[in-house]
Structure formats: C-alpha cells, structure tokens
C-alpha cells in the first residue's frame, strides 16, 4: 500500500467509527449503518465507507433521516466522502432535497513530523490556550466576523465539550494588541490514533504571516506529546495548500449535504 492508502485506511477504520464524547444535551443514535447526532445546532449523520445498502433501501434511509429532523423543525447534515460506496449517494441525497455545501479536502499528517517545526509568530503576537467562557465568547465573535455568519453556537458547543471531556479538547487563540486574530482547537478521539485540527480562522489583515502554520505546530506538539500519531483536517481551499506544503497528504474529499426546513428548493421527495 502507498502512504496515502495507509492513511486513508486508518481514517476509514478509526476516525469514522469513533465519535467524540457528546456534551450534555447531545445524543448519539444508530439507524442501520448510520450514526445520527441529535441536539447540536443542526442534526448530523455519517456512516462507514460502505453503507451496505443500495437502491430503494438507501432512499428510505435517507428520507428517514430527513423526516426525523423535519419533525423536530431542524436542519440536518449528511457528511459524504468522495470514495464512499455506493457512489450514487450524492444523487440520492439531492433527490431527497439535500443541498451540497462547500467541498473540503481531507488531509492527514503525522503529528511528530509537524511538531518539529517551532511556532514562529510576528513580534507582539502571542498564542494562548483558553477554557474560560469569556474567552470562548470572544472566539465565537471572531469566527462570526471572519466568516460573515452567526457562528456563536460554537460557544455552547465548545463549552459543552470541555465540560464533558476536558482532556479531549484544547482551544488556542492568537492575540495581537488585545484582539483575537486567529482561533483554533484540536479534538482528540480516545481509542484511535487521530486528533482533528479545527477552526484556524484568521482575520484577513493577519493572513500570510505564519500564524496558521504556528498553530498547526502548536497543536501537533500536543498530539505528539500524547502519543497520537495522526492529525486530521477537513480543509478549505484556503488552508489546504498550506497544509500540503507542511507535509499533509490529501486522502479524499468530503462534501456536506444539508436539508433545511422551509427551503423552496427542497421538496419532500419520497423514495424511488
């Protein structure tokens, strides 16, 4: 097997089958091959690489997830990967009214290799690990500003995850002159060889100054110190080139398909 094939196999075997400890109010449910997450800012479903069902049975499974969250008045995200089986899952999701969001690249790197790069920041810029609610509220505001969307639900989510499993989450902020210019976190999955790099959103005027790379090194050092071999990122087109240059390997792509109640382009299509 090639290095990329080894990393993809580890991703499929470990990371996709082991969800993090849920925060209070969030529950995990099984529906056939799927894991269904209930109680977050929107519903979430994911499954193994091969769902093991085809045709009408798959259509019924998709519609069942849509209708479950529709009854709750909530949106739901079905997370797909480019190498999933059967290959027509995206077509069947669209037929049931799901809409594709931005595709991201799944990248995996080895923590020890990323940890050898010492964080280098511009003068007057600092990295700080945070857990306090006040800091997380500033984080939510910073993320919302960067993405021009209301992402303050992150505050509740991160606080809940810290309370449920404090050792599984480490949150870092980069500050300059009292302003949060980049925010990020790393999530660990006990029982697996993976930690996921999340966030990493930098305000526009501070991009290209090495801040994102420094945060990768900081989080990689923590993972390596804990004996976690692999780092995983679902990367946007902005961050994927940086991660590739650092030595991360692209193993597949991931596209969320989202159904939201009340959208005119999402009709209640029944299984074919």
Would you say the pTM of this structure is higher than 0.85? yes
Identify the CATH homologous superfamily for domain 109-253. Gcn5-related N-acetyltransferase (GNAT) (3.40.630.30)
Share of the chain above pLDDT 70, in %: 96
Query: Would you place residue 271 in the very low, low, confident or very high pLDDT band (cuts 50, 70, 90)?
Result: very low
User: 121 in helix, strand or coil?
Assistant: coil
Residue 262 has a pLDDT of 79
Classified by CATH at the fold level, domain 18-104+255-259 comes out as Aminopeptidase (3.40.630)
User: Is the Cβ–Cβ distance between 272 and 60 less than 8 Å?
Assistant: no
State both tokens at 170: 């480490």
User: Judging by DSSP bridges, how do beta strands 249-259 and 104-110 pair with one another?
Assistant: antiparallel
Residue 263 has a pLDDT of 63
Please write the tens of the pLDDT for every residue from 81-107: 999 999 999 999 999 999 999 999 999
What is the CA 261 to chain-centroid distance, rounded? 23
Domain ranges of the chain: 18-104+255-259, 109-253
As a whole number of angstroms, the distance between CA 41 and CA 75 comes to: 8
DSSP one-letter code for 228: -
Residue 249 has a pLDDT of 97
Please write the tens of the pLDDT for every residue from 19-69: 889 999 999 999 999 999 999 999 999 999 999 999 999 999 999 999 999
Please write the tens of the pLDDT for every residue from 179-212: 999 999 999 999 999 999 999 999 999 999 999 9
As a whole number of angstroms, the distance between CA 229 and CA 188 comes to: 11
Query: Would you place residue 267 in the very low, low, confident or very high pLDDT band (cuts 50, 70, 90)?
Result: very low
Domains 18-104+255-259 and 109-253 share a fold: yes
User: Is the Cβ–Cβ distance between 218 and 174 less than 8 Å?
Assistant: no
Summarize the confidence of residues 166-174 as an average pLDDT: 96
């Amino acid at each position: 097997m090639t290095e990329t094939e080894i990393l993809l196999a580890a991703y499929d075997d470990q990371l996709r089958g082991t969800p993090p400890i849920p925060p209070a109010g969030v529950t995990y449910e099984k529906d056939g091959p799927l894991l269904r997450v209930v109680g977050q800012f929107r519903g979430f479903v994911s499954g193994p690489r091969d769902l093991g069902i085809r045709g009408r049975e798959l259509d019924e499974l998709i519609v069942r997830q849509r209708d479950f969250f529709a009854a709750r008045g909530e949106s739901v995200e079905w997370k797909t990967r480019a190498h999933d089986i059967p290959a027509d899952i995206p077509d069947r999701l669209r037929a049931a009214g799901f809409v594709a969001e931005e595709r991201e690249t799944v990248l995996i790197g080895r923590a020890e290799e990323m940890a050898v790069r010492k964080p280098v920041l511009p003068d007057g810029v600092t990295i700080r690990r945070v857990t306090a609610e006040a800091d997380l509220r500033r984080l939510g505001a910073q993320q919302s500003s960067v993405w021009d969307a209301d992402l303050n639900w992150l505050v509740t989510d991160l606080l809940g995850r810290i309370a449920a499993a404090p050792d599984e989450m480490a949150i870092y902020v980069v500050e300059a002159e009292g302003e949060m210019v980049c925010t990020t976190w790393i999530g660990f999955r006990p029982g697996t060889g993976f930690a996921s790099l999340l966030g990493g959103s930098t305000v526009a005027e501070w991009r290209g100054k090495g801040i994102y790379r420094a945060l990768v090194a900081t989080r990689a050092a923590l993972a390596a110190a804990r004996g976690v071999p692999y780092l995983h990122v679902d990367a946007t087109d902005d961050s994927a080139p940086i991660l590739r240059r650092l030595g991360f390997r692209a193993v597949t792509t991931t596209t969320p398909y989202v159904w939201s109640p009340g959208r005119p382009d999402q009709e209640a299509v029944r299984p074919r």
